[in-house]
Amino acid sequence: MTDASLYGPSAIATPANFVTVLRLLISPLLFSLVVQDQPSWMVFVLWVALATTDGIDGYIARRQGTTRSGAFLDPLADKVLVLGAMSSLAVIGRFAWVPVLIIAAREIAISLYRVYWGRRGLAIPARRSAKAKTLVQSIAVGAALFPALPDTSLWVANVLLWASVALAVVSAAQYFLDGSRAATSMQADA
C-alpha cells in the first residue's frame, strides 16, 4: 500500500482532516483575540500558525490520500479563517467593511454555484487565481496583524486587501465561465 492510498475517498478520520478541524476549532480564539487585544505578537504568531496549516493539511492529504470530507472541510476552514479574521479586523477599524463584504459575497456566491453544478455531476476545480486570492488575503491579514510597524503594515495590508478583491472578482468570473462552458459541453454530449 502506498502512502497516497492510506485513506480512501470516503474516509473521515484522517490526519489531514484532524489538522483542518483543529484549524476550525482554534479560529474563534483568534477572532476573539483580534477584537480584544488588537495586533500583538501572540495574535500575529497564531495567525501565521493557522494560515500555514492550510498547506500542511493539503500536504498530508496528498501523501496519504485525499477524501471527499477533506475536499469539503478544507475550503470551509479557509473561508471561516480568512473571513472571520477580516471581519474581526473590520470590527476594530483596521480593514474597511466594503472589501470584506465584497469578498464574503463572492465566497458565498461561488460556493453556491459549485454546489449547484456539483449536484448535477459537474465538478468545477479550484483555479490558480482563486488560490492566489486566498494567499493574498492571508498575507493582507498577516500584515494588518503585524505589530512591529502598525502604520506601514496597515497601508500595505489595505493595498493587499484590495488586490485580493480584484483577484476575487477575476476568479469568480473564471468560475462562472468554466461552469457555463462545462454545462454547454454536457448538453452537447447528451
DSSP 1: -
In order, the DSSP letters of 83-99 are HHHHHHHHHTTSS-HHH
> How does pLDDT run along the chain (190 residues), one tens digit per residue?
445 566 666 656 677 778 888 999 999 999 999 999 767 899 999 999 999 887 777 777 777 766 666 667 787 888 999 999 999 999 999 999 999 999 999 999 988 888 887 787 777 777 788 889 999 999 999 999 998 876 666 889 999 999 999 999 999 998 888 777 766 766 666 5
Which among 80, 66, 104, 94 is positioned nearest to 31, based on CA atoms? 80
Helix, strand, coil percentages for the chain (3-state, nearest 5) = 80, 0, 20
Contacts of 166 (CB under 8 A, 6+ apart): none
- Dist. CA 107–CA 115, nearest whole Å: 12
Q: Which amino acid is at 148?
A: A
50 contacts 102 by C-beta, under 8 angstroms: no
For the chain, which domains are there?
Answer: 3-189 (1.20.120.1760)
- Dist. CA 10–CA 56, nearest whole Å: 20
Contacts of 29 (CB under 8 A, 6+ apart): 46
Q: What is the pTM of this model?
A: 0.85
